[in-house]
A = this chain, B = another copy of it.
Amino acid sequence: MNVEDLDLAIVAALTADGRMSFTDLAARVGLSTSAVHQRVKRLEERGVIAGYTAKINYEALGLPLTAFIAIRPIDPAAPDDAPQRLSGLSEIESCHSVAGEDYYLLKVRVSGPAALEDLLAKVRSVAGVTHRTTIVLSTPYEGRAPLLRGDRVAGW
């Protein structure tokens, strides 16, 4: 796919501040405004930049409780459309299919223990048995940019 160092710098800058103007971005990577503009548009078209989002403080929004829920289907032989069936539950922020004992790992945001209890009941009824729920106490950091450094793609 060939993403150059300049593109990595652009991606890093837009990860840190997704609303940075093309003018500032240009100054940061040492290019003209329209040159970065073209590169950003190309990164968007190629899907390297999949979009932009606001970072939300969910505590301030009344959803102070974050948890991870590991699940596995009740019937392992049944067609596994759990992600789709769970997608209606708005409390679920992300859904990963994982290797290991569990099938899926969900990250959820709720208003408190009672809402978590309700959610767990819904998850059970929709997509199998909940296996393990891990409560998040605090989040030292989140959404950092894990970008490529010197060691690059060697090792695959």
Contact = CB atoms under 8 A, between A and B. Distances in A.
**Oligomeric state, in copies:** 2
A87 B142 CA distance: 11
Given A17-B52, A49-B55, A108 B62 contact: no
Contacts of A76: none
A148 to B, nearest CB: 6
Given A3-B62, A96-B66, A18 B52 contact: yes
A146 interface: yes
Given A19-B18, A105-B68, A111-B155, A90 B149 contact: yes
Contacts of A114: 154-156
Interface in A96-143: 96-100, 102, 105, 108-115, 118, 134-143
15 contacts: A1-B60, A8-B61, A15-B53, A18-B18, A18-B19, A18-B52, A18-B54, A49-B55, A51-B55, A52-B54, A62-B148, A90-B149, A98-B137, A112-B155, A114-B155
